[in-house]
Amino acid sequence: DGGITQSPKYLFRKEGQNVTLSCEQNLNHDAMYWYRQDPGQGLRLIYYSQIVNDFQKGDIAEGYSVSREKKESFPLTVTSAQKNPTAFYLCASSPRVSFGTEAFFGQGTRLTVV
């Protein structure tokens, strides 16, 4: 089955620790995205990547980092510099060439700082 897999589903972090959220897709999509979802604020873009070894900051990139070493993988690291990391994180992918295609989403990771 083709799709996007995010892991883990739930993640707990102690204050001051970095954590990495995994996102893997087997859809052969060029573009991948990370969104943060908080109540009442919709989906806010953290980082996105249109092609391997290249990525751009979204609207709320501070305190986060990403890498895109492989086409199928786009991990997100939440660093200790992120002041309020507790949120629901969604990863998505889409073909780059055709603007008409929708984004496909993973099932999300719920991150809680304890």
Beta-ladder partners of 5? 24
Binders of another protein among residues 43 to 72 (CB under 8 A) are 43-45, 48, 50, 58
Which of 40, 52, 63, 82 touches another protein (CB under 8 A)? 40
Distance of CA 94 to the CA centre of its chain: 13
Among 60, 79, 88, 95, binds another protein (CB under 8 A): 88
Count residues contacting another protein (CB under 8 A)?
22
Mark the segment that binds another protein (CB under 8 A) among 19-27, 62-70, 74-82, 84-92. 84-92
What are residue 105's DSSP bridge partners? 92
Q: Using the rule CB under 8 A, which residue among 63, 75, 95, 108 binds another protein?
A: 108
What's the farthest any 2 CA atoms get from each other in the chain? 42
Selected binder of another protein within 1, 10, 42, 84 (CB under 8 A)? 42
Q: Residue 91 half-sphere exposure, CB side, CA atoms within 13 Å?
A: 29
Residue 105 within binding range of another protein, rule CB under 8 A: yes
Query: Rounded CA gap, 86 and 43, in Å?
Result: 14
Tell me how far CA of residue 100 lies from CA of 50, 81, 95, in angstroms. Answer: 15, 36, 9
Task: Confirm or reject binding of residue 41 to another protein (CB under 8 A).
Answer: yes
The yes or no reply on residue 2 touching another protein (CB under 8 A) is: no
